[in-house]
Amino acid sequence: MKRIACFVVAVACVISAMAEDGSRLWLRYDKVEKAVVTGPECIAAEELRNFYPGERVNLVVDATMAADAYRIEGTTITARDERGLMYGAYALLRGETGYSAPQWSLRILNHWDNLDGSIERGYAGNSIFWEGRNDTLIKEYARANASIGINGTVLNNVNASPKMLSASYLQQVKEIADILRPYGIRVYLSVNFASPMALGGLATADPLDKKVAKWWRAKAKEIYKLIPDFGGFLVKANSEGQPGPGDYHRTHAEGANMLADAVKPYGGIIMWRSFVYGANHKGEDRVKQAVSEFVNDDGKFRDNVILQSKNGPLDFQPREPYAPIFDNMKRTPQMAELQITQEYLGQSRHLVYLAPMWQEFFGFVKPDRLVGIAGVANIGLDKNWCGHHFSQANWYAFGRLAWNPNMTSEEIAKEWLKATFGQWTMGNGQWGMYNEQLTMGNGQPENATNHCPLSIVHSSLLSLMLRSREACVDYMMPLGLHHIFKFDHHYGPEPDAFKADYPLEWCPVYYHQADSAGIGFNRSHSGTNATSQYAEPYRSLYDDLRTCPEQYLLWFHHVPWTYRMSNGRTLWENLQAHYDHGVAEVEDFIRIWQDAKPYIDEQRWQETNDRLLHQLDNAREWRHTCLTYFRTFAEPS
């Protein structure tokens, strides 16, 4: 025991002297320049020569392999082309063997970056693309994406400026595309539907106007001349004030198809977002509006149009049921849109690992029903890229799930922890790794006395990550509560918020419906009948108060405060218990992180610790504000 204690002290002393800013993400390899690599001269060869600790790697091209797939046998990587070899090289560096192929050909980041350098819902500094562009940084961005299989990026905000399609900006897009291309990443652009009016001097943007269609064909030709492998357009139309075909009494299919025809000759696609609500749906439950808006267009879109829908029917809440549009659009290709940036989950101030939320979604919407996946990026100019060191895990998890949605949250978290916090320096200057044989899933290490102390730390950090999303739900909006955030910035609680000059669907009181009789939004057949949009068995399951899963209870039902739940306690008692549990979880996360201090470099430990303490303050604020407000209904004086 004395030798172990001395070792721990030695490790602590060395690590505390080191400082890391997190800029290397999960690619914290040190150059060894040891391996002899045979085969094509490509990114894979460069990475392996620099970082693979073995003696030799063989790169083999096999044209019969599936696109992007790779096979690793010993130290031989086989793939269809250089891109597949690159994915195989990063897999080998992770320690993988065997055959692997991606679930989807479209694995895309959506950047909500504005041309002035700001980022809508960005919590990690300004844009890496549009403020004092640093091409070396963009290359590192490309490398990070390639290492986890991401192969596309939308460079600008869905609330797009028409200037994006001007000649000066397209030249910049070309230059960015040239940097990303060697890493297998295609560029896409969000476009403003009224661009022909803003840039082309036309009097209309009516998609059935021949001059409008001609303008878009010419613009597509201009883009593809600059960027032959340009991916296509992402479109937010007739949503939250953005222009669209509805301005001319045209359908979404008519608008999307006009754009699809413009990019079709070049192999481009149109990703048309279904996040549309408001204008044409006055009085309709907001969570029903996407289906109402699009269902009549099912089967009417061109074959290069993909409907892109958020995972839930409202707006990236900490927990939502899956969006029923995935049940209703049966003849239209669809892709899911996940939010990596934590707009409603503490932004980059809270430690919330999102893989469990995305796995929950895939439990309802099977991956083979989709043709691709998009993630709203959480990347900015902060040194650590993501604002919070643990928010890097969400970028990483999106890429890994985009490649293989059957990976578990635990498997991904283990990978990320190993790559991000998995090495330590011993007193002799040699590098070591934690013992991977340790079972870490439940936070209780097996035979802990037989393992390196860092293994025990990793066990606790894994437990923290896997519990963090549920903790966030508990201290913010448990049991199906939703959208009770403060206006506009969506940070902090405001359950009493109501503004007469705002649409009801923006007001928290509209969503929780608390009154003396109970709490929750009645979306059953006796309410807004949102349950009718779901396929069976979920339609009946959600519609019945007795069978509705308790995690969605207040999403679908207005429930009496005295309603007895499965544990025998009342709804009000359970609501209080969830808020208490959420706060207690964050308190335990801080304890875990404090215990990890000897094994984490000083800078990342301190910055994460500061954010955890802030998270605890926020969790307590959520509990106090929400329970104080709801108590006025549940326990009237």
Q: Which residues are catalytic?
A: 240, 315, 343
Nearest to 165 by CA among 219, 232, 214, 218: 219
Helix/strand/coil percentages in the chain, nearest 5: 45, 10, 45
Q: Which residue has tokens 């652009």?
A: 189
Contact predicate 45/37, CB 8 Å: yes
Question: CB-based contacts of 229: which residues, under 8 Å, 6+ apart?
Answer: 177, 181, 186
Tokens encoding 2: 């004395």
Q: Residue 99 forms beta bridges with which residues?
A: 71
Task: Specify the residue for token string 């476009």.
Answer: 191
The DSSP output letter for 518 is: B
| CB < 8 Å & 24+ apart, contacts of 27-33 | 27/143, 27/144, 27/147, 27/419, 28/419, 28/420, 28/423, 29/93, 30/431
Q: Report the alpha-carbon distance of residue 133 to residue 130 in Å, rounded.
A: 6
The residue to which tokens 């301190």 are assigned: 606
Q: Which helix (H) or strand (E) holds 219?
A: helix 210-226
Residue-by-residue DSSP string for 528-585: T-GGGGSPTTHHHHHH-TTTS-GGGHHHH--B-TT-B-TTSSBHHHHHHHHHHHHHHH
User: Distance between alpha carbon 230 and the CA centroid of its chain, in Å?
Assistant: 23
| Angle value at C-alpha 428, between 426 and 434, nearest 5 degrees | 25
Report whether 464 contacts 441 (CB < 8 A).
no
E strand intervals along 115-225:
152-154, 186-191
The answer to whether residues 196 and 212 touch, using CB atoms and an 8 Å cutoff, is yes
**Residue 162: DSSP 8-state:** G
Question: In angstroms, how far apart are the furthest CA atoms of the chain?
Answer: 83
